[in-house]
Amino acid sequence: MNRKQALKALAASAASAVAIPQLAKGMDVLSSELKTKINHSVCQWCYGSIPLEEFARAAKEIGLKSIELLGPDQWAVVQKHGLTCAMAYVTDLGLNKGFNDPSLHGKFLKDFSTNIPKAADAGLKSVICFSGNANGLSYEQGLENCAIGLAPVLKVAEKYNVLVQMELLNSKVDHKDYQCDHTEWGVKLCEKLGSPNFKLLYDIYHMQIMEGDVIATIRKHQKYIGHYHTGGVPGRNEIDETQELYYPAIMKAIVETGFNGFVAQEFIPKRPDKLASLKQGVGICDV
């Protein structure tokens, strides 16, 4: 072993002594032991094989406050178990069809105008939206189209005190051609709209793939971010030591910004015991 190899071995040993126990501890956290700095949520689609009623009971036991990405007909199911839906669907169009397409603006205005009041009546605070795929649009034209389509929707959102949040997704691996694929583009849209009821859903998994520099970006653009999603990189699986991000540091940075919204687990469990993986992820993020 030469000097360079010895230094690498020493560094690896030190890192494992510090980082791995902090990640491993997530599996043993009880819901009664969770801190109050992070409002924990989970995206239902990652656990679609578990009936929603059963999943809601399990989520409540783990200590989650929300199950999200649910439509209007599902909100009451989770609320029955003392949970909310921290990020709600209010249209049936997929994420590849979004506000950058003017032909869809009428459909979106109808859907959002119908379902935002329902969300408000159910006590929900945020609904999700998407830019859609570029389909040849320049970043500039896509931005302009989104602003035009969102403006009347935001008037409804402001009336009912509901946030409309656009998700940042990667166009490199999972969502080819998706237009809102960089934080700066989303920030420009926020600035163009100038509404306190429009924010960004910062998906940590997606933005690590597209641009990295996660903590610095969160600190820089905190006022435009209203929600977070997690996921292990690469692969979008468990957020433990099997992937490249160190979530405890990211969560601490989020807390330090004064953020009081929700952080949702959106990884796809690889382990047979999916709920154990979820519990571990919540524990890792509970800083």
- pLDDT surpasses 70 at 2: no
- Would you state the pLDDT for residue 30? 55
Pick the CATH number of 3-285 from 3.40.50.150, 3.20.20.150, 3.90.950.10, 3.30.2040.10: 3.20.20.150
Cβ atoms of residues 58 and 269 within 8 Å = no
> What pTM does this model have?
0.90
Q: What is the mean pLDDT of residues 267-280?
A: 98
Q: Is the peptide bond before 272 cis (omega within 30 degrees of 0)?
A: no
Question: Tens of pLDDT along 169-204?
Answer: 999 999 999 999 999 999 999 999 999 999 999 999
- Would you state the pLDDT for residue 32? 59
- Would you state the pLDDT for residue 33? 85
Cβ atoms of residues 57 and 25 within 8 Å = no
Write the CA distances from 74 to 56, 120, 210, 247, 274, integer angstroms. Answer: 11, 15, 32, 30, 21
Strands (E), the chain: 39-43, 66-68, 126-129, 163-167, 198-203, 225-229, 262-265
Structure tokens at 122: 């159910």
Cβ atoms of residues 82 and 64 within 8 Å = no
Question: Tens of pLDDT along 132-164?
Answer: 999 999 999 999 999 999 999 999 999 999 999
Task: Kindly give the pairing relationship between strand 66-68 and strand 126-129.
Answer: unpaired
- pLDDT surpasses 90 at 26: no
Q: Domain locations in the chain?
A: 3-285
Query: Percent of the chain, pLDDT > 70?
Result: 89
